[in-house]
């Protein structure tokens, strides 16, 4: 009887430790997320499941998850970092006056059925950011599906404190498991 109680107590302790570890890992290091919508197509598909890493600062062209509203998280690509001048002209991204190739958009540009641009021309000042540069402590983000994405062109720069983390690992559906490169 005493031996059985000790065994039960050991199982309870092990279960308690496992629950604490899961809580710590999900709170401070990693958390799962489900892609909701088509704003990141063709890179990510609606209902893809991904792992969000909460460690480190986002870099240019990373995919980030952030709190858009109290109850809704968005997933977008970092285009501008604090102090950057962002402009789109003739479907080409310019950061601080330098043109950038966005290789992750090549497949989507080829699939366009019309001759229009994937990304309409704009300057940072013409967006809700309203200034020439991305404000300190903020990111300028855009969805890869530029024609159908609510992003910094509509909602302004994203405060760093609203960023949950970066993501690049799709783990479901199984046949779509991949690591996303820039």
Q: Which of 3, 4, 13, 39 is catalytic?
A: 39
Asked, as a colleague might, if the bond just before 173 is cis with ω within 30 of 0, I would say: yes
DSSP of 23-91: HHHHHHTEEEEE--SSTTTTTS-TT-EEEEE-SS---TT-EEEEESSSS-EEEEEEEE-TT--EEEETT
Residue environment code for 31-58, b if the CB has 16+ CB neighbours within 10 A, otherwise e: bebebebebbbebbeeebebbbbbeeeb
Q: Which two tokens stand for residue 172?
A: 């479901």
Query: Does residue 152 have an active-site annotation?
Result: no
Residues listed for the chain: 182
* Radius of gyration of the chain, Cα coordinates, nearest whole angstrom: 21
- 39 labelled catalytic: yes
Q: Of 13, 54, 59, 76, which residue is the catalytic one? A: 76
Burial status of residue 13 (CB atoms within 10 A of its CB: 0-12, 13-18, 19 or more):
exposed
Residues forming the active site: 39, 76
């Amino acid at each position: 009887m005493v031996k059985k109680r000790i065994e039960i107590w050991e199982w309870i302790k092990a279960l308690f430790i496992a629950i604490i570890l899961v809580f710590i890992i999900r709170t401070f290091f990693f958390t799962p997320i489900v892609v909701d919508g088509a704003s990141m197509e063709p890179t990510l598909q609606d209902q893809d499941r991904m792992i969000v890493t909460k460690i480190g600062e986002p870099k240019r062209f990373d995919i980030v998850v952030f709190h858009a509203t109290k109850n809704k998280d968005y997933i977008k690509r970092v285009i501008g970092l604090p102090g950057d001048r962002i402009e789109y002209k003739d479907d080409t991204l310019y950061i601080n006056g330098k043109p950038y190739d966005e290789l992750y958009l090549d497949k989507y540009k080829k699939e366009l059925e019309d001759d229009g641009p994937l990304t309409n021309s704009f300057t940072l000042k013409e967006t809700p950011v309203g200034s020439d540069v991305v404000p300190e402590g903020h990111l300028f983000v855009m969805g890869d599906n530029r024609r159908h994405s609510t992003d910094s062109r509509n909602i302004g720069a994203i405060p760093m404190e609203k960023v949950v983390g970066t993501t690049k690992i799709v783990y479901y559906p199984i046949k779509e498991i991949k690591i996303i490169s820039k």
